[in-house]
Amino acid sequence: MLGNFVYYNPTVLYFGRGALSALALELPNYGPKVQLIYGGGSIKKNGIYDQVTALLRETGKEIVEDPGVMPNPTTDKLYEGCRIARAHNVDLLLAVGGGSCCDYAKGVAVSAWCEEDPWEKYYVRREPPDNRVIPVGCVLTMVGTGSEMNSGSVITNPVTKRKVGPEFGEAAYPKFSILDPVFTYSLPKYQMTAGIFDIMSHILEQYLTDLDDCTSDYIMEGLMRSLIHSSRAAIRDPYDYQARSNLMWTATWALNTLVEKGKTTDWMVHKLGQSVSAFTDATHGMTLSAVSLPYYRRMLPHGLPRFKRFAEVVWEVRPEGKTDEAVALAGLAAMEAWMKELGVALHLRELGVTEEMIEGIADGATILKGGYKVLTRQEVSEILRESM
């Protein structure tokens, strides 16, 4: 049964080849000072920095530089961004990069004018923003997180080893996001495939949940089929525009809150992966791929009809002559084969996890109740060990 819900998403998207020109349409809506947020320098190598700064200058903006956003952005970087935003009293936060830059921009947006420690208020206590919020715009260069069209902001506290991602709600959705698939051509294969698995994981967290038959399930099945097809094409040819554009659009729809409507959601794989990242600083999508198969093999008996449907509809497993369990397991085996094609991490050891870290990672993984079975703390450790 489709549950009750409100659906609203305020982010304006500009999608396609040459979409950056839309920045000239958007910029006049904001005051003169733009905090230009970017990462470790990829946008300087691939020319996107020059294109963005040219448009900022043409529209008369004062550029306040905020480089060095690391993958898995930290609390220290968040505090630095807040100091920059306050010191210059900026009018717009423009993130140019992947999910880390977009998440960080949303974090600075709500935190810059917060009168207490924003980590405690917004990330630990998860209060809704009640101070001035600076508007955010995104120019996306990496595909996967969906951060371009949601209000999530994942920040890591390296001292407490906690990586958390509250959703700030309407105030912190990007006002606009610019999505040019060509901007993703320069992604290293490791990042591209990590992003592809991140998309799959976002869908599975919302699809392998209840046993209802919702429109959202059919949308997700279409998204997964497109994702699998386009991932193979993008690996064969990283300059395949059709594949890159399908991946980009699929990522956005996987996590802009549409497909969760009417459903319960799981997110346990993400809780495990986030805790792994907090201990190792590993790439987000790879932390998810490393724990997914042990987690889903454990869930399978508790959600058998849905795992069987997943196998048949998404992986085209033929059911004839097989038990339901055999069909469902064949679906997970097909997913594993696809993961090997992508070359994503299948073991936590590959990401630097050691036996000594396991219990700490397990302590850091919040146990959620939306999946087919609520894990015990013991099972969390067991899944992590099986993932090694």
Q: Which is nearer to ligand NZQ, 267 or 338 (CB)?
A: 267
Residue position matching structure tokens 């919702």 = 214
Write the single-letter amino acid at 47. G
Confirm or reject binding of residue 103 to Zn ion (CB under 5 A).
no
Binder of residue 289, out of Zn ion, ligand NZQ, none (CB less than 5 to 8 A by kind): none
Confirm or reject binding of residue 147 to ligand NZQ (CB under 6 A).
yes
Least CB distance to Zn ion at residue 93 (A): 22
226: β partners: none
Confirm or reject binding of residue 99 to ligand NZQ (CB under 6 A).
yes
Confirm or reject binding of residue 191 to ligand NZQ (CB under 6 A).
yes
155: β partners: 164
Q: Which range touches ligand NZQ (CB under 6 A), out of 77-85, 187-195, 221-229, 309-317? A: 187-195
Strand 155-157 relative to strand 162-164, pairing = antiparallel
Q: What secondary structure letter does DSSP report for 74? A: B
Confirm or reject binding of residue 39 to ligand NZQ (CB under 6 A).
yes
Least CB distance to ligand NZQ at residue 69 (A): 7
Q: Which range touches ligand NZQ (CB under 6 A), out of 7-15, 74-82, 137-145, 231-239? A: 137-145
Instruction: For residue 150, give the nearest of 130, 134, 170 by alpha carbon.
Output: 170
Instruction: For residue 98, give the nearest of 22, 198, 30, 10 by alpha carbon.
Output: 198
Provide the token pair at 276.
């792994």
Confirm or reject binding of residue 152 to ligand NZQ (CB under 6 A).
yes
Among 34, 56, 93, 154, binds ligand NZQ (CB under 6 A): 154
Other C-beta atoms closer than 10 Å to the C-beta of 274 total 24
Confirm or reject binding of residue 180 to Zn ion (CB under 5 A).
no
Cα 138–63–79 angle (5° rounding)?
70
Q: Which range touches ligand NZQ (CB under 6 A), out of 28-36, 91-99, 228-236, 366-374? A: 91-99
Q: What secondary structure letter does DSSP report for 261? A: T
d(CA 285, CA 16): 24
Q: x-or-dash pattern for Zn ion, window 185-204, by CB under 5 A? A: -------------x------
Question: At a CB cut-off of 8 Å and minimum separation 6, what does 49 contact?
Answer: 38, 43, 96
Confirm or reject binding of residue 165 to ligand NZQ (CB under 6 A).
yes
Confirm or reject binding of residue 255 to ligand NZQ (CB under 6 A).
yes
Least CB distance to ligand NZQ at residue 275 (A): 11
Q: What secondary structure letter does DSSP report for 19? A: G
Least CB distance to ligand NZQ at residue 330 (A): 28
Q: Which range touches ligand NZQ (CB under 6 A), out of 138-146, 223-231, 258-266, 380-388? A: 138-146
Other C-beta atoms closer than 10 Å to the C-beta of 330 total 18
152: β partners: 167
> Could you tell me how many residues of this chain bind Zn ion (CB under 5 A)?
1
Q: Which range touches ligand NZQ (CB under 6 A), out of 144-152, 173-181, 228-236, 238-246? A: 144-152
DSSP secondary structure, 164-183, as one string? E--B--GGGS-SEEEE-GGG
Other C-beta atoms closer than 10 Å to the C-beta of 385 total 13
Instruction: For residue 288, give the nearest of 203, 372, 167 by alpha carbon.
Output: 203
* Residue ranges that bind ligand NZQ, judged by CB under 6 A: 39-42, 46, 71-72, 97-101, 103, 141-142, 144-147, 150, 152, 154, 165, 183-184, 186-187, 191, 195, 198, 255, 270, 284
* Residue ranges that bind Zn ion, judged by CB under 5 A: 198
